[in-house]
């Protein structure tokens, strides 16, 4: 009964959700600068008659209370920020802010959650409990908008028993969604390293301390942290994507600069690994006559989908969409600041399919040709509304 009502309301608002998404897509703003986006969301919440309050500068929180008696609370989260990417798509809703682009689908998340809010405000007489809407800034940039919102109390007063979030996924066809119970995404730490030696003429190695050779040893040896020290049952990744040794064919530089990332899914191992990585790099540099300054910037924790909540939510998604449209996800070693909610409360982060191969919509997130199949909005709003009211016990 409530399912059919949600499906009808979801169909009614589809065009609206597309229009809101296109507006947001053409007016992207970088992390912690979601000023116009925040005003846009605030206006839409006002149109729905919802009171909101601001958090973490540009974030917004609003409550929708069902008319039936219930103390239960479910939080629904959308992120609002865009990326520093020059959009390459030639579409009517192309970014009007050159060099900034909604290339991770946060425009879709925000417009979908506004749509979900619209559905739920029209259904208040049908459910009990409170829905907390969270529109957060800065998913893409450390320390992450989620961590700031939590510090400012977004998970208190009222405290949600469950937090749900959806994220676009161009690997899954529009019309389908994906779930994974348990550990789903990785913690991420940024590594900034300077290896120092003593530069000089390339023909006189005996008078120099070559930081390039030291770096080569460090890079190779550090991989044993993953292959020999890490538990093979739990994934770890150590990658260095930037190595600058700015000498010449005949010049040994004074120093080499490196940047990398360390990802895993176990907080205890994560902290142990930091110590091992640092110690190994510094020890090798010292043994070879140089030195190494190793800085680790802690990023997001790993994301865990609470088993019971995720199983129940997956079941509700099957009710709403049909079993054939609900897929299992593999683990994914990227990071996501929804992880902070998942560490603080029972949470479920699921994927909304946005692929349409026939229309060429297949590009990965964070690329200049990323786009979403907007038909996905036929399910994104109603599904979240349904998952929320079911989770509230209706």
Q: Among this protein's residues, is 81 annotated catalytic?
A: yes
The piece of 55-63, 104-112, 204-212, 369-377 that touches Zn ion (CB under 5 A) is: 104-112
Nearest distance from C-beta of residue 166 to Zn ion, angstroms: 11
Nearest distance from C-beta of residue 82 to Zn ion, angstroms: 10
Measured from the CB atom, is 72 or 263 closer to Zn ion? 263
Catalytic pick among 34, 79, 139, 210: 139
Q: Is 352 in the site for Zn ion (CB under 5 A)?
A: no
Cα 283 to Cα 74: distance, rounded to the nearest angstrom? 50
Measured from the CB atom, is 255 or 337 closer to Zn ion? 337
Measured from the CB atom, is 34 or 282 closer to Zn ion? 34
The piece of 96-104, 273-281, 291-299, 311-319 that touches Zn ion (CB under 5 A) is: 96-104
The piece of 103-111, 120-128, 251-259, 367-375 that touches Zn ion (CB under 5 A) is: 103-111
Cα 69 to Cα 189: distance, rounded to the nearest angstrom? 44
Nearest distance from C-beta of residue 105 to Zn ion, angstroms: 6
Measured from the CB atom, is 169 or 230 closer to Zn ion? 169
Nearest distance from C-beta of residue 366 to Zn ion, angstroms: 6
Instruction: Return the residues of window 260-299 that contact Zn ion according to CB under 5 A.
Output: none
Measured from the CB atom, is 144 or 211 closer to Zn ion? 144
Nearest distance from C-beta of residue 335 to Zn ion, angstroms: 9
| Total chain residues near Zn ion (CB under 5 A) | 1
Catalytic pick among 81, 173, 266, 373: 81
C-alpha triplet 268, 272, 276: angle, nearest 5°: 165
Q: Which two tokens stand for residue 18?
A: 């597309």
Measured from the CB atom, is 99 or 289 closer to Zn ion? 99
3-state secondary structure the chain: CHHHHHHHHHHHHHHHHHHHHHHHHHCCCECCCCHHHHHHHHHHHHHCCCCEEEECCCEEEEEEECCEEEEEEEEEEEECCEECCCCCCCCCCCCCCCCCECCCCHHHHHHHHHHHHHHHHCCHHHCEEEEEEEEECCCCCCCCHHHHHHHCCCCCCCCCCEEEEEEEEEEEECCCEEECCEEEECEEEEEEEEEECECEECCCHHHCECHHHHHHHHHHHHHHHHHHHCCCCCCEEEEEEEEECCCECCEECCEEEEEEEEEECCHHHHHHHHHHHHHHHHHHHHHCCCEEEEEEEECCCCEEECHHHHHHHHHHHHHHHCHHHEEECCCECCCCCHHHHHHHCCEEEEEEEEEEHHHCECCCCCCCCCCCCHHHHHHHHHHHHHHHHHHCCC
Which residue number places its CB atom closest to Zn ion? Answer: 104
Nearest distance from C-beta of residue 168 to Zn ion, angstroms: 8
The piece of 45-53, 97-105, 293-301, 302-310 that touches Zn ion (CB under 5 A) is: 97-105
Of these, 104, 114, 222, 238, which contacts Zn ion (CB under 5 A)?
Answer: 104
The piece of 100-108, 118-126, 177-185, 302-310 that touches Zn ion (CB under 5 A) is: 100-108
Cα 285 to Cα 274: distance, rounded to the nearest angstrom? 17
Chain centre to alpha carbon of residue 343: 14
Measured from the CB atom, is 9 or 83 closer to Zn ion? 83
Length of the chain: 394
Nearest distance from C-beta of residue 135 to Zn ion, angstroms: 14
List residues near Zn ion by CB under 5 A. 104
The residues carrying an active-site annotation are: 81, 139
């Amino acid at each position: 009964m409530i399912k059919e009502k949600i499906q009808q309301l979801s169909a009614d608002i589809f065009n609206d959700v597309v229009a809101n998404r296109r507006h947001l897509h053409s007016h992207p703003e970088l992390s912690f600068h979601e000023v116009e986006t925040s005003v846009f969301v605030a206006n839409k919440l006002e149109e729905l008659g919802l009171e909101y309050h601001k958090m973490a500068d540009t974030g917004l929180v609003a409550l929708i209370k069902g008319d039936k008696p219930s103390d239960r609370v479910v939080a629904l989260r959308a992120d609002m920020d865009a990326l520093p990417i020059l959009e390459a798509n030639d579409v009517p809703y192309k970014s009007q802010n050159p060099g900034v682009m909604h290339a991770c689908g946060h425009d879709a998340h925000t417009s979908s959650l506004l749509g979900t809010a619209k559905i739920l405000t029209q259904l208040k007489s049908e459910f009990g409990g409170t829905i907390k809407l969270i529109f957060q800034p800065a998913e893409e940039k450390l320390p992450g908008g989620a961590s700031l919102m939590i510090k400012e109390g977004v998970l208190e007063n009222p405290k949600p028993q469950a937090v749900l979030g959806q994220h676009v996924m161009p690997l899954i066809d529009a019309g389908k969604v994906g779930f994974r119970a348990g550990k789903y995404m990785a913690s991420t730490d940024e590594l900034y390293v300077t290896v120092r030696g003593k530069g000089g003429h390339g023909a006189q190695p005996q008078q120099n301390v070559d930081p390039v050779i030291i770096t080569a040893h460090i890079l190779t040896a550090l991989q044993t942290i993953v292959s020999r020290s890490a538990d093979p049952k739990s994934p770890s990744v150590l990658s260095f994507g930037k190595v600058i040794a700015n000498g010449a064919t005949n010049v040994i530089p004074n120093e080499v600069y490196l940047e990398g990332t360390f990802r895993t899914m176990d907080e205890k191992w994560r902290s142990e690994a930091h110590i091992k990585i640092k110690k190994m790099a510094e020890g090798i540099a010292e043994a070879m006559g140089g030195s190494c300054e190793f800085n680790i910037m802690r990023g997001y924790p790993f994301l865990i989908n609470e088993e019971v909540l995720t199983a129940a939510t997956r079941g509700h998604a099957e009710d709403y969409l049909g079993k054939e449209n609900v897929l299992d996800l593999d683990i994914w070693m990227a990071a996501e600041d929804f992880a902070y909610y998942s560490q603080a409360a029972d949470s479920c982060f699921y994927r909304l399919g946005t692929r349409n191969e026939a229309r060429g919509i297949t590009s990965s997130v964070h690329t200049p040709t990323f786009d979403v199949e907007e038909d996905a909005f036929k399910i994104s709003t109603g599904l979240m509304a349904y998952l929320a009211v079911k989770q509230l016990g209706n």
